[in-house]
Structures are given as C-alpha cells and as structure tokens.
Chains A and B, each alone.
Chain A
Amino acid sequence: MLQLVKTWIVARYTFREMIKSKILWNVVLLGIVIAIITFVAAEFTFGVPHRVALDLGLGSLSVSSYGIAILIGIGLIKKEEESRTIYLIISRPVSRVSFLAGKLLGVSSFLVLNILILSLVTILVVKTMGGEISSLVLFAMLFSCLEATLLLLVVVLLSLIANTAISLMGSLLVLITGHAIAETSKILFVTTKPWLKTVVDSMNFVFPAFHRFNIKDYVLYQNTIEGSQLLMVVGYWFAYMMGLFFLAAIIINKKNMD
C-alpha cells in the first residue's frame, strides 16, 4: 500500500515536470498545424471533407504519441541514471519497481493528455465541417492511448537492457512488425508456404499486435464493430502490459545502477 503511494508521488512529479517542459507546447502547436492542414486538405476533397479531417486527426494523434512514447521512453530511466536523480529517489524508502511504475504512469498520463488535446482539435474540426462523431471515434481515440502506453512500456523495457541506439532501432522494429504482421500473414507469398505461415503466425505471439488497436477502417468506412472485439482488444492490452511490466520489474530489480 505504501509503495503504491510512492508510485503515485513519482507519477505526479514526472507528469508535472513534463507539462512544464516544452513538449506540451509542441503538442499544442501540432494541434494547430493539423487543424490548418485539415482545412486545406478538405478544400481539395469532394463530398467528404469531414472524413478527411477525421482520418488526418486520428493519424496524427497516433504518430505524435508514437514519437513521444519512443523519445521519452528511451531516456526515461537512462537519463535518471546519467543525471544521478535515480539515486536520490531509490536511496529513500521507494522500491525500484515503484519508481519504474511511477515513471511509466507519469509519462502515460502525459501521452493521454497529448491524445486528448489532439482528439479535441480533431473533434472540433470534424464538427466545424459538418461531420458527426460516433462512439467508434471515441474508441479509436481510447485505443490510441492503449497503443501508446503499450509502446512506451516496450521502449522502456528495451532501454533497460540495451543502449540508446539499439533500443531506438528495436522499438521501431517492434512497432513496424506489430503493425505489419497481420497483413503479412495474409499475402500470397506467405500463405502458399506453410512453414513461413507458421513463422509469421508465431511472431504474433512474440511481438505486441499493435494492428489490433487500429480501428480507423471501421471508423471511416464501416461505422460498426462488435462489442466483444473491442473488449478483446482491451483485454489483450491489459494482459500484454502486465506481462511486460512483470519482465521490466524483474530486470530493474536485478540491474546494477552504476
């Protein structure tokens, strides 16, 4: 219980430090740029400008959250070691796992804030263009939050075991593979070779299936999705997060902080 309080304290001050940094202003600036680009792009579209606005908005909040998760996640623990602030914290009655959980929670809150700001901009632009916001759009935004936090945990886990360059490349690899894996298993070259199909399918269990969080197609073209499918994505996110966090907790506990 006490360690949960410590986690909350670390999270609160991590979040506070981040909102006072320039990143938040960059997010706001990005929101303005997206709004302008959307208005310009809509001028060249016939019939469905609000759909273009929605597509651009959802895309930008995904990309910006990938950027923040990777760039912040890579230095989340390493920078604390280099600046020696981690020693100030873990020399107090704070466990390493609480420290890690607090840092992750703090950055995740910032990722949610980023997505919230860009979502509001998107909703505002879509509404201005006469479009409707269905509940599925809100799910797409929620799934962006889940995807970003999962990516953050992947990046932090990699940064605990590898140097900055390797963790950066590894994170990008995991992100791209996690998105491409579903489509890859469907292409003819793979389906005609059973051994390759087995390899690709088994990678589904190793890499986080980021493609599951992408419901833009449903939002833009089908406007409907099974409730159970949404629940399954949330369940998958929870299980994968728990697994990765467990692994990260073991590593940080064993790690020499030198």
Chain B
Amino acid sequence: MFNLNNITKVFKSDLLVDPFVALNNVSFGVPEGAMVGFLGANGAGKTTSLKIVLDFIRPTSGEVSFSPTLGTSREEVRRNIGFLPERPYFYQHLTGTEFACFMGELSGLTRKDVLAKILPLAKRFRLDHAINRELRTYSKGMLQRIGFLVTLLHEPKLILLDEPLSGLDPVGRKELKDIMAEIKREGRTVFFSTHIVSDVEEICDRVVFLNKGELSYDGPVKPLLDKHMTQIWRILIPDMTNFSSSFVANRRNLGAGIEQLEVESAHKDLVVKQIVSEGISIIGIEQEKIRLEEIFYKTGKA
C-alpha cells in the first residue's frame, strides 16, 4: 500500500546542539489488506515515520511511495487515507456531529452523506448518546472513539493510527481492537504504531519494529514467533510423586498439587515414557511459548 525507501531524518534544533538522527536509512513496506503493527519504544521514531508518510515533515533523504490503488494524484491518495494522530484534542465547542461533518466534508463527502452515516457509526463506537454534545464534555476514551469514527467516515482504503490504544481502559482497548479487526476483515489496510507488543501479537499479521531510529524487523508475526520458539517442553504431574530423571532440566512446584518438569525436546518422549511406566498420571504437556514482547525487549532485536 505504501513503501518507505531509505528514509533518514535528522533534526537539528539548535546551532550548539548536535544533530539528532531520528530515523536512519529506514525502509519497509505495508502490503495491501494487511494489519501491520508498528512497534518501538518511546522515541524510537514511530511518530516521525508516520509524519513523513503523511508529508507533515520532510525526510532528510529517502522517499515514500504509494500504491496506485490509493490513487495517482496527491489529492486522490489523501482521499483514500484515514489518519488518527496520537491523543488529539479536537475542537471543544463543536458537537460530535458538527465535528464529523467538518472532517467528512473535507474528505469530499456531502453533509447529507455524513448525516446518513453518522448514527450507525456512532452506535458502533457507543457514542450515539453523546453525538450531539459538545466535544469538551467528552471523556478521554470518548474523544479517542470520535477520533476513530471520523477516521473511518469516508471509508479510506488505508488507515494510519498513531498510538490508537494509548490512554484507554481495558474495555475501551478491547472494543477498539475488535473494530480494527473488523476493518481488516473488510479488506482495508491498517497500519498502527504502538509500544504495547501484546496488542500487535493479538491482532496483527505483520510487524515493523524500530529500535532507536533503525529498522530491526519487518515481516509476518507468526514466522517470527516460530523462529524464536524454544526447544523446552513443560510436563505437569502431581507433586506428591518421587519421580526423578536425569533428563529433567528444571523442576518447579506450581502449587495446587502440581509440579512442572522442564525437559529438552529431544528427551521429551523418553521422560513421558518413564513417567507413564511409574504409573504417574500426566496432568498436562506443552511446548514453552515465547511472546513477541520477550523477543523484542529481551533480545533488543528481532
């Protein structure tokens, strides 16, 4: 849907201050119809990248290219993009409906179109009770939801979200994640930045990881998890047994009468046979799973 090609961005705010390299030769692509999570710690360069994609700031070098599906002219491309910045504060004295009309009309919809769309969308975002209230009366979560609503109003093909889930309570996060999944099912492309890895693992099929302005990983989530899958198996047995084996690498009492044995993949079948032969009942057996979060933040790189 779009590509960043060798993007470098250097900020120089003061003559006496050294230049700060926010992005260093970053290249990645977002395929059509994908849900891509844009990961990185605070200050990694995620917002800077999004601002470059949308031409709010210009890169020091490199370029951004958009797929012809979005359009050929700048105007057409913009009409097919929906963008929600991080924690925007909107216009306090406009009502939800007025704000939606404002944004919709700017995206080429008529007022009539917006009014026809606003109620079903407001219901979907649980804002129908407040849509005619001034935005200054909205809570933080409601502001985030109205922001999301106006981002989707003109049915964009590409949706760019900057930290859309930050500052929301668990229920709000779950609701927005459900809506994002729904948008993806409709075949639209979603690219969102976040520093919360579990969100990406939960709903994304691809991930782009930035580390201190440099690209660490760009690709699908599942192969990344598979690649880092450990060779450790966990076998759960009752803790009142005196089972012992030289192949058990580690053992731990989990409480509630359960003991966990950790064995290497190569010895798994052998240990299971030993347990069964001693007449001990196996409660459970599973391969140790590694979370995306651990991959990124323990190793620092993917």
Residues of A whose CB lies within 8 Å of any CB of B are 2, 6, 9-10, 13, 16-17, 20-21, 82-85, 87-94, 256-258
Whether the pair A92, B106 counts as a contact (CB closer than 8 A) is: yes
CA gap between A19 and B105 in the complex, in Å: 20
* B89 x A83 contact (CB < 8 A): yes
Residue numbers in B under 8 Å from A87 (CB-CB): 54, 56, 83, 85, 88
Give bound CA distance, A87 to B51, whole Å: 9
Find chain A residues with CB under 8 A from B92 CB: 17, 21
Q: Which of B145-180 contact A (CB under 8 A)?
A: 147, 150, 160
Among B79, B88, B91, the one with the most A-chain Cβ atoms within 10 Å of its Cβ is B91
Contact with A along B75-110 (1 / 0, CB 8 A): 110110101111111111110001000110111100
B212 at the interface (CB under 8 A from A): no
Given contacts A87-B54, A257-B57, contact A92 B107 (CB under 8 A): yes
- A17 smallest CB distance to B (angstroms): 5
Does the CB pair B57–A91 fall under 8 Å?
Answer: no
In the assembled complex, 24 residue pairs joining A and B whose CB atoms fall closer than 8 Å, in A order, are: A6-B106, A10-B106, A13-B91, A17-B94, A20-B94, A21-B92, A83-B89, A83-B90, A84-B86, A85-B89, A85-B90, A85-B91, A87-B88, A88-B103, A89-B103, A91-B54, A91-B56, A91-B78, A91-B81, A93-B74, A93-B78, A93-B107, A257-B57, A258-B56
Q: Told that A92-B78, A256-B58 touch, could you supply 5 new A-B pairs with CB distance under 8 A?
A: A13-B94, A85-B88, A85-B90, A93-B107, A258-B48
Which residues of chain A have C-beta atoms less than 8 A from B147's C-beta?
Answer: 88
Q: Is the CB of A88 within 8 A of B94?
A: no
Nearest CB in chain A to that of B93: its residue: A20
Chain B facing A: main interface SS: mixed
On B, residues with C-beta under 8 Å from A are 11, 48, 51, 54, 56-58, 74-76, 78-79, 81, 83-94, 98, 102-103, 105-108, 134, 147, 150, 160
**A88 B83 Cβ-Cβ under 8 A:** yes
A13-B98 in contact given A87-B56, A91-B54, A258-B57 (Cβ < 8 Å): yes
Whether A93 and B106, one on each chain, are in contact in the complex, defined by CB atoms closer than 8 angstroms, is: yes
B161–chain A nearest beta-carbon distance, Å: 11
- The residue in chain A whose Cβ has the minimal distance to the Cβ of B83 is A91
Q: How far is the CB of A148 from chain B (nearest CB, A)?
A: 22
A92–B77 Cα distance when bound, in Å, is 9
Q: Shortest Cβ distance from A189 into chain B, in angstroms?
A: 40
Would you call B78 and A84 a contact (CB within 8 A)?
no
Residues of A near B107 (CB, < 8 A) are 92-93
Residues of A close to B78: CB separation below 8 A: 91-94
A232 to B240, CA, bound (A): 103
Closest chain-A Cβ to B54's Cβ sits at a distance in Å of 5
Residue on B nearest A94 in the bound complex, by CB: B106
Give every chain B residue within 8 A of A16 (Cβ-Cβ): 94, 98
Chain A residue contacts of B51, Cβ below 8 A? 257-258
Chain A residue at smallest Cβ distance from B150: A88
- What residues on A are CB-neighbors of B88 within 8 Å? 83-85, 87-88
Query: Which among B48, B93, B147 has the highest number of chain A CB atoms within 10 Å?
Result: B93
Write the chain B residue with the least CB distance to A98: B106
Q: Is the CB of B90 within 8 A of A90?
A: no
Q: How far, in Å, is A32 (CB) from chain B's closest CB?
A: 23
Does B106 lie within 8 Å of A9, measured CB to CB?
A: yes
- The 8 Å CB contact of B93, one of A21, A83, A90, is A21
A88 with B85: CB separation less than 8 A: yes
Bound-complex Cα distance A16 to B91 (A)? 10
Closest residue of B by beta carbon distance from A102 = B106
Query: What is the CB-to-nearest-CB distance from B295 to chain A, in angstroms, rounded to a whole number?
Result: 31
A84 B87 Cβ-Cβ under 8 A: yes
Smallest CB gap from B79: residue in A: A93
Known contacts A17-B94, A257-B51, A92 near B58 by CB under 8 Å:
no
Q: How far is the CA of A88 from the CA of B76 in the complex (A)?
A: 16
A246 to B191 CA separation, bound complex (whole angstroms) = 36
Question: Of A21, A89, A90, A92, which is in contact with the most chain B CB atoms at under 10 Å from its CB?
Answer: A92
Question: Taking the nearest CB of chain A, how far is it from the CB of B135, in angstroms?
Answer: 10
Closest residue of chain A to B111 (Cβ to Cβ) is A9
State A257–B51 Cα separation when bound (angstroms): 8
| Assembled-state Cα–Cα distance A10/B91 (Å) | 12
Closest A residue to B94 by CB, please name it.
A17
For B86, the closest partner residue in chain A by CB is: A84
Q: Shortest distance in angstroms between A130's beta carbon and chain B's nearest beta carbon? A: 41
Assuming A85-B90, A92-B78, is B102 touching A256 (CB within 8 A)? no
A14, closest chain B residue (CB): B91
Complex formed: what's the CA distance from A90 to B78 in Å?
A: 9
B165 to chain A, nearest CB (A): 16
